[in-house]
Amino acid sequence: MIEKIYEFKALDEKLIEKIVDDDNLVINHMILTKDTGLPEHFSNSNVYMVITKGKMTIKLNDQEPHIYEKGTILNIPFNIKMNVNNFHDEVLEFFVVKVPNPKDMPK
């Protein structure tokens, strides 16, 4: 078999799982229920967030929070302060693609 297969969980409860972590990139899968979020952190690579369900409220550095809906892909540069939350009734589901793998980024 030439291809590799990766699987992710299909749930409606809070979940943060790393799906791929190889030499090229990292892919995480995240599900946030209403009034849950990620801890404030800085992007550790070039980050792409692919929203597949719900609405994401995200605050980057000192700018005002923005709301993005399913069908949106966000690109966040390296070393940006991030606050990601779901303040809406619908479950938020998204994938985070980090390129290159954060292990290859400057410390």
pLDDT in tens, the chain (107 residues): 999 999 999 999 999 999 999 999 999 999 999 999 999 999 999 999 999 999 999 999 999 999 999 999 999 999 999 999 999 999 999 999 999 999 988 87
Residue reference for tokens 């793998």: 101
Q: What is the dihedral of CA 34, 44, 68, 52, to 10 degrees?
A: -70
DSSP 80: -
CA dist., res. 26 & res. 5, Å (int): 15
Give the count of beta carbons closer than 10 Å to the beta carbon of residue 76: 19
Q: Residues 6 or more apart from 71 whose CB is under 8 A from it?
A: 51
pLDDT at residue 107, rounded to an integer: 76
pLDDT at residue 106, rounded to an integer: 83
CA dist., res. 61 & res. 40, Å (int): 10
pTM of the model as a whole: 0.94
For residue 61, which of 76, 82, 47, 77 has the smallest C-alpha distance?
82
> What homologous superfamily is domain 15-104 in, according to CATH?
Jelly Rolls (2.60.120.10)
DSSP 103: G
